[in-house]
Amino acid sequence: MHYTNNVCSYFSISKRHGFTLFYCVPVLILALLITPLAAQADDDTAQLDKLRTLLQTNLSDIPIDHLSATRVPGIFEVISEGQVYYVDSTASYLFDGSLVDLKARQNLTEQSMVAQNLRYIDAIGEENMLIYKSDDTAPTRSMSVFTDLDCPFCQRLHSELDILLDAGVSVRYLLFPRAGLNTQAHKNLESVWCANDKHAALTAAKRGELAPTASCENPITQHVALAQQLGLTATPMIYLDDGQRINGYLDAHTLLEVFDESVPLEH
């Protein structure tokens, strides 16, 4: 209602000065531009909804984590449990392999999995991560790190945390006991999570000062399942917010150089 009144008043003013079209045409053009775009978005959503229903019938044993159109007309991308597949618009045919843009020399399948891996990590929820942020610098970038207490390179990376935080990088920790679940390493990480001050407890534990034994509801099992899904091969395993994956330690200054040469990935 507010915008309608404004449009009418501008029309009245412009009419008295003889410039009716000058002020009204941009409004009409804007409406004409927005309407087809909105209609197209609705059509795209309806098409994906229809395709999802067909897939649930034809591929009922495959959970669909993500469904989207590709650059190829009539071909759609299905991501399921870390695997990328392609189907036609009728869900009658499935393709298993890489989709490559020959002109751009880009592997679109790899790009899709980079974005999907970030979605898998985000799905854990930041409330289920142990996050360090600078008190003085607003974070502009982030990295997610699978870490353990006994890993020497995890300890070294944590000792350089202030360098990252001061540069505006927030560090999101996911806890991964390398010895496995239901081990002492697992119990030590659980004690950190259950401490009154998780951040101080983790920093102390990285120095060998284990937190007092404690038990509570925690997300460690989820973290381990995610790490296995992502194919963790070493700790620390680092995911930058541009989708790059780093298996193992990289010093803080080098990490900042990598951040400077990249932009966060929209996913």
Question: Is residue 95 located within the same domain as residue 214?
Answer: no
Question: Is residue 34 located within the same domain as residue 118?
Answer: no
Task: State residue 22's pLDDT score.
Answer: 39
Task: State residue 23's pLDDT score.
Answer: 39
Higher pLDDT, 3 or 92: 92
Q: What's the first-to-final CA gap in the chain, in angstroms?
A: 35
Question: Is residue 22 located within the same domain as residue 70?
Answer: no
Q: What percent of the chain has pLDDT over 70?
A: 84
Residue 4: give the domain boundaries: 1-57
Tokens of 87: 């189907």
| 0.85 exceeded by pTM | no
Please indicate, yes or no, if residue 265 is contained in any of the structural domains: no
Q: What is the pLDDT of residues 20-55, one digit of tens each?
A: 433 344 444 444 444 544 445 555 788 889 999 999
| Phi/psi-derived region of residue 230, left when phi > 0, alpha when psi is between -120 and 50, beta in every other case | alpha
- What is the C-alpha to C-alpha distance for residues 179 and 260, in angstroms, rounded to an integer? 35
Question: Is residue 104 located within the same domain as residue 121?
Answer: yes
CB atoms under 10 Å from CB of 260, counted, come to 9
